[in-house]
Amino acid sequence: MGAGDQSLRRARGGNETVISGPDVLDAGDGLVLRHFTLDDAQVIYEHVQANRERLRRYLPWADRTVSIEHTFQFLLDASAARQAGQWLVYGLWQDGEFVGAAGTHDIDRVDHHLSIGYWISQSAEGRGIVTRACRRLIRLAFEELGMERVEIRVAVGNDRSCAIAARLGLKLEGVLRHAQKLPSGYADIRVYSVLRGEFQGS
Ligand SMILES: CC(C)(COP(=O)(O)OP(=O)(O)OC[C@H]1O[C@@H](n2cnc3c(N)ncnc32)[C@H](O)[C@@H]1OP(=O)(O)O)[C@@H](O)C(=O)NCCC(=O)NCCS
């Protein structure tokens, strides 16, 4: 049995495959992606509080996270979604310190595509941590989860996030007009993608 087989739990349902992903992913240079547990609620909530103004500009869930109970509920939802093969959310730990989160959502087990999302604390920005985390998640998607296409969707104006997609070699496919309601109003959303045969994973 290969490492991928050992770390993935797959359960057949019709002709679909439920994917719950490995618990831990090593992204190199001291960066570890680990599935959250309920014990992480406190540290996540503290980081959301400290970064609320930056996060709420582009991540609508920030405004709905106003007590640690909401973070507990998020963790319960994430665990259920993982079991159902819908999302895989990982905390980012750089040299043992929690710095943010990244994960896959909208996992389509029939047509084999998924989308990646992320956030990081301001104190850890500008070091390439999210770029490395995304590169590891894209490798997971193509090499271990059998995906054909990986997408990143970014609001027009979120230049740092657009830079991540471009740095990873994703192609800009187009813009979905007024596709997300943000505090600043309805945002146009850029769709970036990479296909399995295009990805340079190293
Ligand atoms: C979007 C967001 C995740 C970007 O974070 P980031 O720190 O800029 O992204 P990275 O970790 O990839 O770092 C890139 C920077 O590190 C630098 N860097 C250093 N070492 C690097 C390396 N080994 N590899 C890549 N970049 C590296 C890059 O040059 C770049 O620097 P710059 O900011 O001077 O251009 C962050 O701003 C954020 O959390 N924003 C709020 C939430 C959000 O918008 N989420 C995304 C919604 S789509």
Residue type, 99: V
Closest CA to 47 of 57, 59, 62, 34: 62
Residue 20, domain member (yes or no): yes
CA of 12 to the centre of ligand 1 (A): 37
Residue 120, domain member (yes or no): yes
Domains: count for the chain: 1
pTM over 0.85, yes/no? yes
**Would you give per-residue pLDDT tens digits along the chain (202 residues)?**
333 333 343 433 334 556 678 899 999 999 999 999 999 999 999 999 999 999 999 999 999 999 999 999 999 999 999 999 999 999 999 999 999 999 999 999 999 999 999 999 999 999 999 999 999 999 999 999 999 999 999 999 999 999 999 999 999 999 999 999 999 999 999 999 999 999 987 5
CATH (domain of 142): 3.40.630.30
With a 6 A CB cut-off, is 129 part of the ligand 1 pocket? yes
Residue 201, domain member (yes or no): no
Q: Which atom of ligand 1 is nearest to the CA of 54?
A: 41
Backbone angles phi, psi at 66, to 5 degrees: -115, 0
Q: How many whole angstroms separate alpha carbon 53 and alpha carbon 129?
A: 21
Contact yes or no for 143/179 (Cβ under 8 A): no
- In angstroms, the Cα distances linking 202 to 28, 136, 139, 175 are 11, 9, 9, 29
Residue 143, domain member (yes or no): yes
CA of 159 to the centre of ligand 1 (A): 10
**Closest Cα to atom 15, ligand 1: which residue?**
126
